[in-house]
Structure 1
Amino acid sequence: MSRPSLLHEVRDKNTVFSFMQTQASPALNVDKQILLYLEGLSVSFDGFKAINNLNLYIGDGELRCIIGPNGAGKTTMMDIITGKTKPDSGSAWFGQTINLLEMDEPAIAQAGIGRKFQKPTVFEFLSVRDNLVLSMPDERSVFSLLKARISGEQQDRIDEVLSLIGLVEQQQLGAGSLSHGQKQWLEIGMLLMQRPRLLLVDEPVAGMTHQEMDRTAELLISLSGQHSVVVVEHDMDFVRQLAGKDRTVTVLHQGSVLAEGSMDQVQNNRKVIEVYLGE
């Protein structure tokens, strides 16, 4: 199995929370500090090229914002990463040893890639805490998980995640009673129970209050370092909050990278202004 180059060497819900056994993937190797390699990817649907020779690299522990107009290929890109869509050409590697194009959706989730869709998909009839219990990696059935005695280590992990997502006081409440923002945080917590190395987050602040947006930005920033986080978002104020002065922002257009750099660089890029940000 060949190692991917860096150019020249440089959930769905059922998938994310699957309890299926899958074939063990190779050990993750990030010796080059790159966690995700997408190289030369192209895919067409009925003659429309949704992804067109896409090259994208995400560093280990990086928080990356990806923006672009509707139809730019953002969702299709995430579909390829998670195994929902197979490209016509190109390569997709998780670290230097895991070929994502040879794996199905459950295997990719098990390898350490979690995806959060725009609409939160929590188990509304269960408590916040039980939502996290159900999200633990386990080969047992849903019902046996709920009835099982949780180990001390598992309890500690649940408490850690509850604290991280800011729902300690709400842990015994039914998830259906949470606000929209809290449901988004809970779903992020459910992904974190799987201990993913890469989190793909799709438009997390749609429909949130300003206060919830601020809290979401704090949460996602806090996850970077231990996790790589890729955030697809249209809200430019939120992207500025996440990107700060130093983080990389990638602009997709017509299925490929139009521009990449700091938020200031992207905002002042003439091509980006023409196709996306407007005058």
Structure 2
Amino acid sequence: MTWLDKTREIMAPDRVWPFLTPEVPATLDVSKNVILYVEGLSVAFDGFKALNDLNLYVDDGELRCLIGANGAGKTTLMDVITGKTQCDSGDVYFGQTINLLQRSEPEIAQLGIGRKFQKPTVFEAQSVFSNLELSIKASKGIWYNLRANLSGEQRDRIDFVLELIGLKAQHSMLAGALSHGQKQWLEIGMLLVADPKLLLIDEPVAGMTPQETERTAELLTSLAGDHTVIVVEHDMEFVRSIARKVTVLHQGSVLAEGTMDEVQNNADVIEVYLGSEL
């Protein structure tokens, strides 16, 4: 695959990067300490209810894990939050006043909601530093970013993120030469340089070594507080290592919510997932 082909893949319609989007002025109101409100959300595909009257509330600065079998509605929920999929009914608010259902994908990205897909997608022919440089949030748009020199504040932000994701020593290395886990961290870093308020992370440890999984757990837990992080993951040991609160989805609705111990001992969860990895 050529660099141009790779660029086209990264810029595909299902991947929205804040640095490609117009500025969307909005004030995020988290005075009630809740950053995400999902109420009565339903989505059907050809008669199949992917989401069924789902209610979810996520606190500002929280690290929340979403678990559930395939088809439980996890991906569809993230698709609706990020504007990729339209719902049939319900409400999704970012803070008290921002109605996400009235915003486009680029607008939602610019509001401060970043999404990382399961497969890491980075500019492999560019250095680690260049990947982060391309992702710096700037109101003047992508062409300004490609032409202009970085400001001191932007360089400081990249240095901070490099330290955070553990790739400072690899800053000049081509992204394609990184390990699978390092590519995952780099893509998280590409979101972090834009300083998002909410991060949606899909199966971050799939295919990782035990050491990379442990480092990823440290990274995600360190982000909570300054950012709100929602993690979708099937690795239950990993979820246990990072989760403060877990939401279990089943057939498009919330089945149970609480600590990992609470959901694993929940009678409804046991009945539905008896014999599974949950």
Give the TM-score normalised by structure 1: 0.91
Tell me how far apart the structure 2 counterparts of residues 26 and 141 of structure 1 sit (CA, whole Å).
21
Contact kept? 1:69, 1:275, Cα under 8 Å: no
- What does the per-residue CA deviation read over 1:121-170, in whole Å, with 9 as the maximum and x for residues that have no partner? 1110100000000001123435x534532111111000000000000000
- Is the counterpart of residue 252 in structure 1 residue 249 in structure 2? yes
Would you say the 8 A contact 2:22–2:141 is kept in 1? Answer: no
The equivalences for 1:1-279 within 5 A come to 14-22=15-23, 24-138=24-138, 139-141=140-142, 145-243=145-243, 247-276=244-273, 278=275
Aligned to 2:199, what secondary structure does the other structure show? strand
For structure 2, the 5+ residue unaligned runs are: 1-11
Encode CA deviations 1:19-60: one digit per residue, 9 max, x unaligned.
2325x3431000000000000000100000000000000000
Tell me the distance in 2 between the aligned counterparts of 1:273 and 1:221.
27
RMSD of aligned alpha carbons? 1.5
CA distance in 2, matches of 1:13, 1:80: 12
Deviations 1:42-96 (A, max 9, x none): 0100000000000000000000011000000000000000000111000000000
2:17 partner letter: V
Contact 1:198 1:229 in 2 (8 A): yes
Structure 1: which 5+ residue stretches go unaligned?
1-10
Q: Which amino acid aligns with 1:257?
A: V
DSSP-derived class of the 1:41 partner: strand
8 Å CA contact 1:54–1:257 kept in 2: the answer is yes
Quote how far apart the aligned CAs of 1:277 are: 5.4
SS of residue in 2 equivalent to 1:76: helix
Contact 1:115/1:201, CA 8 A, preserved across alignment = yes
- CA spacing shift, 1:117–1:12, aligned 2, 3 Å: farther
Q: Distance in 1 between matches of 2:129 and 2:13?
A: 21
- Give the aligned residue type for 1:20: T
Give the share of equivalent positions with the same residue, in percent.
66
Inter-partner Cα distance in structure 2 for 1:198 and 1:120: 19
Give the match's secondary structure for 1:21.
Answer: coil
Q: Partners in 2 of 1:13 and 1:121 — Cα distance? A: 12
Change (3 A) 1:112 1:12: farther
Shift of 1:272: 1.3
Once residues 147 and 104 of structure 1 are traced to their aligned partners in structure 2, the CA distance between those partners, rounded to angstroms, is: 27
C-alpha distance in structure 1 between counterparts of 2:195 and 2:226, whole Å: 10
Task: Report the Cα distance in structure 2 between the residues aligned to 1:163 and 1:196, rounded to whole angstroms.
Answer: 17
Q: Distance in 2 between matches of 1:275 and 1:170?
A: 45
SS at match of 2:40: strand
Distance 1:189 1:13, change over 3 A: farther
**Matches of 1:189 and 1:93 in 2, distance apart?**
25
- Output the CA distance in 2 between the equivalents of 1:40 and 1:233: 24
Cα offsets for 1:169-198 (capped at 9, x unmatched): 000000000000000000000000111100
- Distance across 1 between alignment mates of 2:274 and 2:115: 26
TM-score, structure 2 normalization:
0.91
Q: Offset of 1:97 from its aligned partner?
A: 1.1
Q: Do the aligned partners of residues 110 and 197 (structure 1) sit closer, same or farther apart at CA in structure 2, a change above 3 Å counting?
A: same
In 1, the alpha carbon distance for the partners of 2:152 and 2:161 equals: 14
The answer to whether the 8 A contact 2:65-2:230 is kept is yes
What is the identity, as a one-letter code, of the residue corresponding to 2:258?
G
